[in-house]
Amino acid sequence: MGLVDLTAITRVIIAHNPVGAEADPSTSDVLAQVALVAAGLDALGLPHQTVAVPDWRPWLPLAALAGPGTAVFNLMEAPPGRPGALLAAAATLELMDLPFTGSAPGVLWVTTDKLATRAVLAAEGLPVAPGGRLDPDCPKLLDHVPGPWILKPACEDASLGLEGDPVCSTPEAAVARARELAARFPGQAVVAETFLPGRELNVSLLARDGGVEVLPIAEIVYEDFPAGMSRVLGYEAKWDEGSFACTHTVRHFPEDSADQALLARAGELSRAAWRVFGLKGYARVDLRLDAAGEPCILEVNANPCLAADAGFIAAAERAGLSARDVVERILKDCVLPAPSTAASPPQEKKTGDRPGPGVTIRRGLETADRGAVEELIRATGFFNPEEIEVAMELVDDRLTQGEASHYRFLVGDVDGEVAGYACWGPIPGSLESADLYWIVVHPRFQGRGVGAALLRAAEAWMAAAGRPRVYVETSTRPQYDPTRAFYAACGYHLAAELPDFYAPGDGKAVFLRVL
């Protein structure tokens, strides 16, 4: 993806989450980030305006403010217990065709979910601690994952859920804590991992000239922690300034020559994570050494904290970078606005429909597309093996049956590459209804309007085929908040909800739009 020309930006809107008078420190900390970004924009000579987005709904204030030359510096963070708000806000910025900083909503979804992050890293051969989802009612995970275990909610950040001592030495303690976390964060899975005993490293990553730079690597040192006190960067260590954990948890930048091989390895793993997830602008990767001294990735943090006293800015300063430098490089690598995707009048031709610059939508499916379609489905890290198998069954049905197939496909090409696809079909037994089965976009092309282009082209095709009632089915899990927000923003409304359809706590949401 190309870099943004800052001379084309005439104004920057610093958008942040609302901060109430009773907000906890992990929420109010965003105001310190606003101050740093504003200082960087002042140094760049870029006019800016700060907007506290009400209830994480960017269309409320930004629709009237946005105009040509406007970019959004996205500092919106999720409130405790509502991780989907962050993802929906970013998805809305994308649908509003506004350039915005940080990673695209699909990337935020995967990296926000610690279980999804683990799955993608493991699939790419990158090291993670032994662990997985711990069901307190069926704790079989503990039988094959060595203890002691550290437990955390799957989709929270800022060390929420890591209050007290999150490390459990017995299965009974782990199950009890899992029940507590499940009750406190309903709808989220609980992650249990082997607590790694080694050193802890933070690797800050900053976009540079279309690539990424590894900033000086920090080590988190737990000074004089007494025996029995877990060495964990928990909630108290981050936010309770008067606590022992906070005053004795120190950020250190190793310089010993004996550490250079370790630091190089940590940087190599972090670069790989940047590439695998399609991160943009800036990120931080947290690692910890196992008993053999090998680094494992704990978390991948897209859009990390930019407060002046936070680890990212400390690493940037160590590299000789100012707030101006950091803000400039993040802005240059922002998610570009979606191309114009206004649907053309229905027409008979099946290839060459161009919804906007750089995106070509073609109807049909070619044999040569099969491998690319499977690769992009897997690259999202979103679908489980059974879902991937179903998706490819539809592809093979179309390739085998041709026009006789029930399934209609559209393929989105960007610069000659398959960037995404959509699949729909008429609902048997109905006169005017259609199912929109799949819209999938490769992570490398997210943020470029491919998904919206595919949706509108599919809608035009369905309308021309006499199928104006379009149904979409998706999960009600919090991780699917951005998906539901996408369809809601595109004119779909919730027509039905079936509780526990896919699994206990995982219902089916049915959306409808009449074209």
Contact at 8 Å (CB) between 162 and 235? yes
Give the pLDDT of residue 291: 93
SS3 content of the chain, % helix, strand, coil (to 5): 35, 25, 35
- CB-based burial label for 5 (10 Å; 0-12, 13-18, 19+): exposed
Q: Is residue 486 part of a domain?
A: no
Q: What is the CB neighbour count within 10 angstroms for residue 68? A: 7
Burial code of 431-445, b = ≥16 C-beta within 10 A, e = fewer? eebbbbbbbbbbbeb
Regarding whether 303 and 215 lie in a shared domain, the answer is yes
The pTM is what? 0.67
Give the pLDDT of residue 358: 66
Regarding whether 255 and 218 lie in a shared domain, the answer is yes
In Å, how far are 109, 113, 392, 464 from 116, measured between CA atoms?
Answer: 9, 5, 21, 38
Regarding whether 414 and 296 lie in a shared domain, the answer is no
Write down the residue that tokens 């089916």 correspond to. 508
* pLDDT tens sequence across 410-422: 999 988 889 999 9
Range of the domain at 269: 111-332
Regarding whether 383 and 284 lie in a shared domain, the answer is no
User: Cα separation of 334 and 107, whole Å?
Assistant: 13
Residues 6+ apart with CB under 8 A from 175: 134, 136, 139, 142
The count of structural domains within the chain is 3
Per-residue pLDDT tens digits of the chain, which is 515 residues long: 457 778 888 899 999 998 888 888 888 889 999 999 999 999 999 999 999 988 878 877 887 787 778 899 999 988 888 888 888 888 888 888 889 999 999 899 999 999 999 999 998 999 999 999 999 999 999 999 999 999 999 999 888 888 889 999 999 999 999 999 999 999 899 999 999 999 999 999 999 988 999 999 999 999 999 888 889 988 888 888 888 988 999 999 999 999 999 999 999 999 999 999 999 999 999 999 999 999 999 999 999 999 999 999 999 999 999 999 999 999 999 987 655 433 333 333 344 444 444 678 899 899 999 999 999 989 887 778 888 999 999 999 999 998 889 999 999 998 888 999 999 999 998 989 999 998 998 988 877 778 888 888 899 899 888 899 999 998 888 777 777 877 877 778 889 999 999 888 889 999 999 88
Regarding whether 225 and 283 lie in a shared domain, the answer is yes
Show which of 76, 100, 124 is a domain's final residue: 100
Regarding whether 153 and 133 lie in a shared domain, the answer is yes
Q: Is residue 443 part of a domain?
A: yes
Regarding whether 161 and 306 lie in a shared domain, the answer is yes
User: Cα separation of 414 and 417, whole Å?
Assistant: 5
Amino acid identity of 449? G
Residues 6+ apart with CB under 8 A from 405: 397, 398
Whether omega before 148 lies within 30 degrees of 0, making that bond cis, reads yes
Domain of 401: which CATH number? 3.40.630.30
Give the pLDDT of residue 337: 64
User: Cα separation of 392 and 370, whole Å?
Assistant: 8
Give the pLDDT of residue 384: 81
Angle at 419 between CA 282 and CA 56, to 5 degrees: 45
Q: What is the CB neighbour count within 10 angstroms for residue 484? A: 20
* pLDDT tens sequence across 363-379: 989 999 999 999 998 98
Give the pLDDT of residue 346: 37
Give the pLDDT of residue 341: 38
Residue among 219, 216, 284, 290 nearest 249 (CA)? 219
Contact at 8 Å (CB) between 58 and 93? yes
- CB-based burial label for 18 (10 Å; 0-12, 13-18, 19+): middle
Write down the residue that tokens 């800052």 correspond to. 6
Domain of 96: which CATH number? 3.40.50
User: Cα separation of 512 and 470, whole Å?
Assistant: 6
Domain of 318: which CATH number? 3.30.470.20
Regarding whether 164 and 201 lie in a shared domain, the answer is yes
Show which of 65, 100, 135 is a domain's final residue: 100
Regarding whether 137 and 24 lie in a shared domain, the answer is no
Q: Is residue 105 part of a domain?
A: no
